């Protein structure tokens, strides 16, 4: 057998499998990075954005011209007591408002559509990125928090795109246009009206520095609530079995109360900040009214100009107040963006090497050569392990809980990469093959079968998406599942509920086996595939597994040693090392660790009252 290794090669971060959530530093995003990110997602939709910008320009132009018509009405009609210009000015005002409403509708439609498209692209990209991640990523994070980032945080950013982007652009145009007009009309009044602006801007900047960390805390705590809720719902059977409803409520209440307190603090800051801004803007208006009245009396300006000027000051301060509200949305979105960026910045531990090639049709010759492996938070779980399986052979991996059985077989489909050593299939290093081509030829049947909330047929079709109905039904017959499926209310079209809750453990296992038959793998991994069923169900499943193993290289992890007696080779692992390796008869004759485990398990039959074999706990603990 070959020996030696190529640890740390081309597949990502092999040295440590996994990264813990508490080790993830909070991400701080720069304005430049945010702008680059927005440009990336909005760039492909520039025609839609251009239409929105054109509509904003028209709306801004009409709103800025309207006060000029009011000035003429006041000076040329009311003050001069002359009705002559009134029809013309009235029709002009009507036309302006018609244009304003028409293009406002276009702007709203375009910007909302752009926002929805933006959210769709971000959410799909985030989900695609999640699917690329290695198993270690999901082991180090709570699924509820991941869901919160893809759902709630993306929705928060959507609010900034739909309302914030529209408001920022249109209000900025309005402010720039208004400043130019009022300086042209009367620069003295303009400076008086804008005098509170420096205080206003200083308050906005200070508020942003205070509130942004609070919004980050709020988003994190919302993720905690989602994680707690999902965890309790998925474990509801355990919650009720241990009568822990009150305990779970207390924990959920604690998370919800923390979220409430952080939210109330941000609301208090906001409700304190906004009245202050309103007071500062009122100072500018009061100044314009006071000094404008004096200028009118002294003849420096006309009454119509003051009326128009007051309208323009509203055009100046209303957008500023609106931008302050958007600043609030902006800060919430920045907190969400930091969490989204943290998700998108994570690179998978296991990736295709730059020169990886698609795997040809495999014969199933597997060599695990001198492998050493450990997870991120623990000691070495496999040390210098070497195992070989010839094409079509069945290799059983046995050992006590935590010995490293599941960790060993997880290296074959490259769920993880070893710290040292090689995993070869048909003489090819698995790291030289593309992940998709390798995993498509490996079938896995687990102890805890996962079925989707869909029909029986669609769960079976998951094994091969292009399978015909006839192939699906044939696979079910070969897996000894057709009889119970046809007895269901709607046969193959029967919905089976979330995680297959409407089926027994044995029925779920046979569906999983039929699914693997459809995939037609060349290498098969059976991880405790019969450990949670009774003897009668186990016999049916065993017959289905015999059909599945036919002409396939198979690795079997089982705690019922009666199920591995026929294996071509039995590998006994203890403390992450191989301590025995041979077939059943040879290992029993050796009278070593395997014989001790086997005899102990079957001595228990003497005190077992029932037809189910005793289950000595030789199963693999999670993540080992």
Give the confidence band of 263 by pLDDT, cuts at 50, 70, 90: confident
* 548/518 Cα distance (integer angstroms): 10
Quote the CA–CA distance of 15 and 9 in Å, as a whole number.
Answer: 10
538: confidence class by pLDDT, cuts 50, 70, 90: low
pLDDT tens digits for range 131-168: 888 888 887 777 778 887 888 788 888 777 777 777 88
Mean pLDDT is lowest, of 65-79, 97-111, 458-472, 603-617, for 603-617
Both tokens of 201, joined, read 């801007």
**What pLDDT is recorded for position 2?**
42
C-alpha distances in Å from residue 419, one per residue of 7, 9, 12, 576: 5, 10, 12, 14
Q: Do residues 366 and 389 lie in contact, with contact meaning Cβ atoms separated by under 8 Å?
A: yes
In the chain, count H helices and then E strands. Answer: 21, 10
Is the dihedral angle over the CA atoms 610, 612, 614, 615 positive or is it negative? negative
- pLDDT at position 530, please? 63
- pLDDT at residue number 241: 61
* Mean per-residue pLDDT, 116-125: 84
- Per-residue pLDDT band for 240 (boundaries 50, 70, 90) equals low
Regarding the domain delimited by 24-345, which CATH topology (the fold level of the hierarchy) does it fall under?
A: ABC transporter transmembrane region fold (1.20.1560)
Q: Which residue has the higher pLDDT, 203 or 55?
A: 55
What backbone phi and psi angles, to 5 degrees, belong to 401? -60, 130
Q: Cα separations (Å) of 158 from 126, 140, 167, 330? A: 14, 28, 13, 11
pLDDT at 414: 93
396: β partners: 556, 570
Query: Domain limits of the chain?
Result: 24-345
């Amino acid at each position: 057998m070959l020996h030696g290794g190529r640890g740390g090669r081309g597949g990502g971060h092999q040295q440590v499998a996994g990264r813990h959530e508490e080790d993830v530093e909070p991400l701080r995003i720069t304005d430049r990075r945010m702008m680059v990110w927005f440009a990336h997602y909005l760039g492909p939709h520039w025609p839609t954005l251009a239409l929105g910008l054109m509509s904003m320009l028209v709306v801004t132009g009409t709103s800025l011209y309207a006060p000029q018509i009011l000035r003429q009405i006041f000076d040329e009609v009311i003050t001069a007591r002359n009705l002559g210009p009134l029809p013309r000015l009235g029709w002009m005002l009507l036309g302006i408002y018609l244009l304003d409403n028409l293009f406002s509708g276009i702007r709203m439609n375009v910007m909302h559509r752009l926002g929805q498209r933006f959210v769709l692209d971000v959410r799909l990209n985030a989900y695609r990125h999640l699917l690329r991640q290695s198993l270690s990523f999901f082991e180090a994070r709570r699924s509820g928090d991941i869901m919160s980032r893809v759902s709630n945080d993306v929705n928060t950013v959507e609010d900034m795109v739909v309302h914030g982007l529209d408001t920022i652009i249109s209000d900025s145009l309005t402010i720039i246009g208004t400043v130019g007009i009022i300086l042209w009309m009367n620069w003295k009044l303009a400076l008086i009206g804008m005098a509170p602006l420096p205080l206003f801007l200083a308050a906005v900047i200070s508020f942003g520095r205070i509130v942004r960390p609070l919004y980050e805390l709020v988003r994190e705590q919302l993720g905690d609530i989602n994680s707690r809720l999902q965890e309790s719902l998925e474990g509801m059977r355990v919650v009720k079995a241990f009568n822990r409803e009150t305990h779970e409520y207390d924990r959920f209440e604690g998370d919800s109360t923390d979220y409430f307190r952080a939210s109330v603090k941000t609301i208090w800051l906001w409700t304190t900040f906004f009245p202050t801004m309103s007071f500062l803007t009122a100072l500018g208006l009061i100044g314009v009214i006071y000094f404008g009245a004096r200028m009118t009396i002294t003849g420096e300006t006309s009454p119509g100009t003051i009326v128009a000027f007051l309208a323009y000051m509203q055009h100046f301060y209303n957008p500023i107040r609106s931008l302050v509200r958007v600043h609030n949305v902006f800060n919430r979105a920045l907190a969400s963006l930091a969490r989204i960026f943290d998700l998108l910045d994570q690179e998978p531990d296991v990736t295709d090497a730059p020169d990886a090639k698609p795997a040809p049709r495999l014969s199933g010759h597997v060599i695990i050569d001198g492998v050493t492996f450990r997870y991120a938070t623990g000691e070495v779980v496999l040390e210098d392990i070497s195992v070989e399986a010839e094409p079509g052979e069945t290799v059983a991996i046995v050992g006590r809980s935590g010995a490293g059985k599941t960790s060993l077989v997880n290296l074959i489909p490259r769920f993880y990469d070893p710290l040292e050593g090689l995993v070869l299939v048909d003489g090819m290093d698995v790291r030289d093959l593309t992940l998709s081509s390798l995993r498509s030829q490996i079938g896995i049947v687990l102890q805890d079968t996962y079925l989707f909330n869909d029909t029986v047929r669609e769960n079976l079709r998951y094994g091969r998406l292009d399978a015909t109905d006839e192939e699906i039904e044939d696979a079910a017959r070969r897996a000894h599942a057709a009889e119970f499926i046809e007895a269901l209310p709607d046969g193959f079209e029967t919905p089976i509920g979330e995680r297959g809750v409407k089926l027994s453990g044995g029925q779920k296992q046979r569906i999983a086996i039929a699914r693997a038959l459809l995939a037609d793998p060349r290498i098969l991994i059976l991880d405790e595939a019969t450990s949670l069923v009774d003897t009668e169900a186990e016999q049916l499943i065993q017959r289905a597994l015999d059909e599945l193993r036919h002409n396939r290289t198979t690795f079997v992890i089982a705690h019922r040693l009666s199920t591995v007696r026929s294996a071509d080779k039995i590998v006994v692992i203890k403390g992450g090392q191989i301590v025995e390796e041979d077939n059943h008869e040879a290992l029993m004759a050796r009278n070593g660790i395997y014989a001790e485990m086997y005899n102990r398990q079957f001595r228990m039959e003497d005190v077992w009252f029932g037809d189910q074999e005793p289950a000595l706990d030789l199963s693999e603990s999670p993540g080992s």
